[in-house]
Structure 1
């Protein structure tokens, strides 16, 4: 069932769980996470970054739509980290049901203006809008990008931003970073800031870049008002590691995709199921059907 971001997260906010948003950078990743969500009866957001879309081409969205329309769980197609108004409009035209405009690196008033402009274009056609306030860190080579130093979301201005833009969900910066942290870095979420933001705002909150944060912190964040969590590095790393193992096995005759990829997809599915459980999203699909 294809739904909007607003629809999928409204239930998550009411029932106190987080919808997993998996970055599907290939058809194999897409099928693996969809299998996991069907098995776990979990709603899902299939997130596609503009760089991923450029690689996959626009036709990939039709594949996602097909799976969504034939799925027994709610599925939202989400543009992850749209960097411009033009990228967002293109995604809407392709059939995305949720878009993110990430102008968090711009001055506050400019972030408001472009986010407001996106809302004005998206809402009339039933597309939800996510924006970001504060900055998410970046640990290295990720499509999502980020900054080297996190600027925490200011709880005092969060609701002002929501009121002025009309966005449906807000990505908050509370100490996460895209990618996997170096071994000598011990990441820690600022749950105190999250608590203040949740008290000050009235829409679902989104967490980006939590790959290296301890599971107990992520689980706690869900109980404190995070209703969508992005997963990219975790599923891609296990896929790539398994593929390396297969390619380095010594059998140079292995070449068929249906031989190379199934075991990689199994590893991806395992991680997806772990995340679904961590986010308290198992068996939550039932709340979307009358």
Structure 2
């Protein structure tokens, strides 16, 4: 069942769980994710960054739409960290049901202007819009970027930004970073800031950079208002580590059907871990 983000996360917000948002950069990742969420009866968000979108093209969006059409599990197809208005329009035309415009590095007034323009266009197509205030960090090993240091979201500014733009979901910066944390980098989520934001705003909140954070911190974030958590690096590392293992053990393999099944199984294990951590298992029934 294909939905937009606003409708999907309203249910999550009312029932205190978070929907996992997995970055899908290949058909194998798509199939691994969908097989597992179907088993777990978990709603899911299938997303891709602009670079991933450029790589896989519109055909991958059609594959996502097909997967959504043959399941009772709620599915959103989302543009993650949309870099400019033109990319957002292309995503909507390709069939995505939700888009993010990330102008968080711009001055406040410019961020509001481009976000408002995206909202006006997207809402005409019944596509929901996510945006961000403050900036997420980067570990330096992710294509999704970020700043070297987190610029935390200011709760009072968050409320004003939502009012000024009309966005449907709001990405908070509370201490996460894109990618996998190096051994000398210890993430710490500012649940106190999250609580302040939750008290200030009413729309669903989103956490980016959900890979490799402590489970207890992620669970606390869900309990304190986070309704969507982005996972990219964790599923890809599981997939491609197994891929390297399979190829090293079987240098003569050349067929995808020989190489990928075990890799997809490893990816699916991580998908299940995240769904259980986010409390999204068996929540598909809440949408009927």
Given the two structures, how large is their TM-score scaled by the length of structure 2?
0.99
How far is 1:211 from its partner?
Answer: 1.5
- What residue number does 1:162 align with? 162
- What residue number does 2:219 align with? 219
Contact 2:141 2:180 in 1 (8 A): no
1:180-219 to 2 correspondence within 5 Å? 180-219=180-219
- What residue number does 1:131 align with? 131
Tell me the distance in 2 between the aligned counterparts of 1:44 and 1:57: 21
1:137-152 to 2 correspondence within 5 Å? 137-152=137-152
- What residue number does 2:267 align with? 268
120-129 or 135-144: bigger deviation: 135-144
1:89-108 to 2 correspondence within 5 Å? 89-108=89-108
Given the two structures, how large is their TM-score scaled by the length of structure 1?
0.98
Tell me whether 1:277 sits opposite 2:276 in the alignment: yes
Tell me the distance in 2 between the aligned counterparts of 1:64 and 1:167: 24
1:28-47 to 2 correspondence within 5 Å? 28-47=28-47
Which ranges of structure 2 fall in alignment gaps of 5 or more residues? none
Tell me the distance in 2 between the aligned counterparts of 1:141 and 1:53: 19
- What residue number does 2:56 align with? 56
1:102-117 to 2 correspondence within 5 Å? 102-117=102-117
How far is 1:156 from its partner?
Answer: 1.2
Which ranges of structure 1 fall in alignment gaps of 5 or more residues? none
Tell me the distance in 2 between the aligned counterparts of 1:262 and 1:148: 37
1:242-261 to 2 correspondence within 5 Å? 242-249=242-249, 251-261=250-260
- What residue number does 1:85 align with? 85
* Residues 17-48 of structure 1: per-residue CA shift (max 9 Å, x gap): 00100001100001101111101100001001
Contact 2:48 2:79 in 1 (8 A): yes
Tell me the distance in 1 between the aligned counterparts of 2:143 and 2:120: 27
Tell me the distance in 1 between the aligned counterparts of 2:55 and 2:119: 27
Tell me the distance in 1 between the aligned counterparts of 2:147 and 2:31: 31
Please provide the CA RMSD for this pair: 0.7
Contact 2:58 2:94 in 1 (8 A): yes
- What residue number does 1:286 align with? 285
How far is 1:125 from its partner?
Answer: 1.1
* Residues 61-103 of structure 1: per-residue CA shift (max 9 Å, x gap): 1100000111120000000010000000000111100000000
Off by >3 Å, runs of 4+ in structure 1:
none
